[in-house]
């Protein structure tokens, strides 16, 4: 394949050893971007070389992105086709089948599973592909075919929405590539039942990454009154009900998401223990404080307030405000869980912002547990962005 490929080359001051040691990205300012490089069609493949013309591997190129090249294979002679994709999918599937008894998990976590910029979540006989890189968009048909071959899924949905695609210069689209989808899918996790809307829900329809953090919160929830803020389809709230909470209150701005939470609670036989409050989470927490409400366990799982380095300072202030508003809602001796899915905010920065917020909320705390995404979201050690999720659990004083 190498003979037919264009060649792209690192600038002399770039550090090729990072690529040789597994770092999968090349930024635009690290590459010699001459007229030929800029003319490469987004999603095409090229041989990557260092400044001394030594091969570093096979990459995909997108001149429209700040991440101008993503390493596909350390072998510059690799052929990226359906068989290559199927081999990567088989390797990813082997890990998930060892970890989980049922086929409900993140099957592909982008670079961590060797499929750059590609997310695949599995929901039994259905799967949702998020092609967030130009090569995956261009080869979405081949990815879907390999996915059906390797896993046996019948329904494959392409969810081409979200900020990541905009950064790649890709248009939004949502379509069923094969099979059919008539309604939400029931997903059982930690004894709870969730309803995932694969066509209209956020991201792929359900956040599998929080599974181990749901389980930890569930241990705190027995006999407790629980508040789940930014609940989406009831992630922490339904887990708490499955763990024996006497009541769970879910707050979210999305009426459809809260309807799915109610559907999940009904499927669990716990509809009478679920309370929903639709509206802005900050406004709702302020209203609960004004009402004098308190809960034994409060969990806040907001969207990514710091999706980029440019948004970091504002994002940390938002996380601090969440903690400040949530802390007074925790009953004496109760527990507060705070989460961040912002890769730009590292654990130390997020922990410090959370601690400041708790203090500003008039409470003192013990940090009792630090969580991350589940093992179906493996981290590529060389790429910090793959380890984006952080969950902090505090016990608050009286």
User: Catalytic residue positions?
Assistant: 341
| Residue 152 to residues 101, 121, 123, 145, 204, Cα–Cα distance (Å) | 16, 14, 12, 10, 19
Other residues' Cβ atoms within 10 Å of the Cβ of residue 311: 16
CB 89 within 8 A of CB 147: yes
Pair of tokens at residue 58: 């096979």
The span from the CA of 278 to the CA of 276, in Å, is 6
Residue the block writes with tokens 């949905």: 157
Phi first, then psi, for residue 154 (nearest 5°) are: -105, -35
- How many alpha carbons lie under 13 Å from residue 228 in its C-beta half-sphere? 28
The contacts of residue 273 (CB under 8 Å, 6+ apart) are 241, 245, 246, 247, 248, 265
Pair of tokens at residue 220: 């705190």
The span from the CA of 177 to the CA of 154, in Å, is 10
CB 48 within 8 A of CB 10: yes
């Amino acid at each position: 394949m190498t003979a037919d490929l264009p060649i792209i080359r690192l600038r002399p001051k770039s550090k090729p050893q990072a690529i040789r040691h597994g770092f999968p990205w090349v930024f635009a300012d690290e590459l010699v971007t001459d007229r030929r490089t800029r003319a490469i069609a987004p999603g095409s493949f090229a041989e990557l070389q260092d400044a001394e013309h030594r091969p570093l591997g096979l990459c995909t190129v997108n001149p429209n992105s700040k991440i101008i090249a993503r390493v596909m294979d350390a072998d510059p002679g690799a052929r990226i086709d359906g068989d290559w994709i199927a081999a990567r999918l088989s390797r990813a599937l082997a890990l998930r089948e060892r970890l989980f008894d049922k086929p409900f998990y993140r099957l592909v976590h982008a670079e961590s599973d060797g499929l750059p910029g590609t997310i695949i979540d599995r929901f039994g006989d259905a799967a949702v592909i998020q092609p967030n890189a130009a090569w995956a968009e261009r080869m979405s048909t081949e990815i879907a075919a390999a996915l059906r071959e390797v896993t046996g899924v019948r329904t494959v949905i392409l969810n081409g929405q979200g900020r990541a695609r905009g950064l790649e210069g890709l248009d939004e689209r949502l379509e069923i590539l094969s099979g059919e989808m008539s309604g939400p899918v029931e997903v059982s996790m930690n004894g709870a039942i969730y309803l995932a809307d694969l066509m209209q829900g956020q991201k792929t329809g359900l956040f599998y990454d929080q599974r181990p953090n749901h389980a930890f919160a569930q241990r705190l929830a027995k006999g407790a009154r629980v508040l789940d803020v930014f609940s989406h389809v009831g992630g922490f709230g339904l887990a708490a009900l499955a763990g024996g909470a006497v009541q769970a209150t879910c707050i979210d701005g999305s009426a459809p998401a809260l309807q799915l939470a109610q559907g999940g609670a009904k499927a669990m036989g716990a509809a009478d223990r679920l309370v929903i409050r639709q509206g802005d989470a900050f406004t709702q927490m302020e209203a609960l404080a004004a009402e004098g409400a308190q809960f034994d366990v409060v969990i806040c799982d907001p969207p990514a307030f710091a999706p980029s380095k440019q948004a970091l300072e504002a994002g940390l202030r938002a996380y601090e405000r969440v903690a400040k508003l949530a802390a007074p809602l925790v009953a004496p001796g109760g527990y507060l869980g705070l989460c961040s899915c912002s890769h730009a905010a590292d654990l130390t920065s997020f922990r410090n912002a959370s601690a400041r917020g708790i203090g500003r909320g008039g409470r003192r705390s013990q940090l009792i547990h630090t969580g991350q995404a589940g093992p179906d979201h493996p981290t590529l050690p060389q790429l910090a962005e793959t380890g984006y999720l952080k969950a902090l659990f505090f016990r608050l004083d009286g």
